[in-house]
Chain A
């Protein structure tokens, strides 16, 4: 649900960088500072705010109010004297610090700016509005209606999630699951595993007449059982707000479990296939070429790589097959990630 608007995020990041740079540069060049004036005679100081009172009526120059001497702009004076007292020292140090900061910013944000430059001329993928997405999701759900596996979360996610578009992160996978979960509401009102994996819509997103299931509205399961026949529209947003927090958490946990279960099952399947394959021929290239899906899944980042790394160590398999997986799991060897910074690992051991 919380998608990135790619057009906007690109502009926003660029604009922020621009603002940061501009602010530092402005300060470095004393741009938005108020000019100060000093009387060379009596050393009285004025700022540009006093300008109106300082203009002398006869020659339009700035004159000291007390001794009528012509004022000198402060920065000119400093340039003439070059080095000065403590105040000037502090100013110079500040300037150096600013310069340093600007330089650091350029260096440290270089990867980001490079990326921005790379995507600058690329066309932005068009995902359409939420309504358009819903229409598409409904259509897809109707198409998948005849498929009995749509109810089983593990299998459906296997069929849709992996074979379909590649998932760069977990959040998008949730969308995929919800896609297959939409027809569930029509077929039977009893919530099953796949229904619970649906992402809960935030209350402010729910509008009258939206085609949603209870889970999307953030209703708890118990309520569902009692009022399974009623339409979703009867529930008000207040109720869902109350349940939103913990329900979402449990849904996420459920989802993770199902996801990892699916992953495990899939890997086991593939290991079996690999073993069978091994019996036919010892050629390892053959194995990898026979698993286009596996390869596709590997192309995504971090999450799966990390999980896979743990999994492969555990997996009791024939040595040859194990080696094959490691070979085209390049990301692990290239950049060994610290696995298990969150509860992912625990889930793994359970699954």
Chain B
């Protein structure tokens, strides 16, 4: 799920950036530092949409770096248990398959794949129904439900299922080619 929230961060700026463009430098550095990172608490920071407030800088003893408390608005993405996501399959093996929904990695183990889908080893490992009408392979797009998340300080990993109503392949690249 996406959220638009306000976060705060202490930015350290090298004295060489001090000058008329200090603020611009600070914002650019903030974007470089923060966008794309993941915190267990808020999820993945997708984009910074604005800087609310930059506080008074504080010179660090010894280094000359200056710390600015910065309040900024950003869009974060955090997966939740029970959430439905659309993801792209990245790897298929006999234990199940891995998929990515944006920055999030999701693993669907083979007992959470419908029983009528069988693993087919080979050049392109895939899961296929007995009549061959549905096939899950690399680059397939699937709709899945998250049934568990493991949230570390800097990492989020999810377990999903496609063994439920309206879940499964939503677009099969193998079918069109």
Contact = CB atoms under 8 A, between A and B. Distances in A.
A60 B122 CA distance: 12
A159 B95 CA distance: 75
A324 to B, nearest CB: 58
A73 B113 CA distance: 14
Contacts of A55: 91, 93, 98
A48 B113 CA distance: 14
Given A31-B112, A34-B148, A52-B157, A73 B95 contact: yes
A112 B168 CA distance: 33
Interface string B79-107: 00000000000010111101000000101
Contacts of B111: 30, 35, 73, 75
A51 B94 CA distance: 12
A61 interface: yes
A60 B93 contact: yes
B158 to A, nearest CB: 9
B95 A31 contact: no
B163 interface: yes
A61 B110 CA distance: 13
Contact-residue size bin, chain A (C-beta under 8 Å from the other chain):
10 to 19
Interface string A5-42: 00000000000000000000000001110110100000
A49 B150 contact: yes
A62 B159 contact: no
A274 B104 CA distance: 82
What are the 9 closest A-B residue pairs judged by CB atoms, nearest first? A35-B109, A49-B150, A51-B107, A60-B93, A32-B147, A48-B159, A48-B109, A62-B95, A34-B148
Interface of B: 91, 93-96, 98, 105, 107, 109-112, 125, 147-148, 150, 157, 159, 161, 163-164
Interface of A: 30-32, 34-35, 37, 48-49, 51-52, 55, 60-62, 71, 73, 75
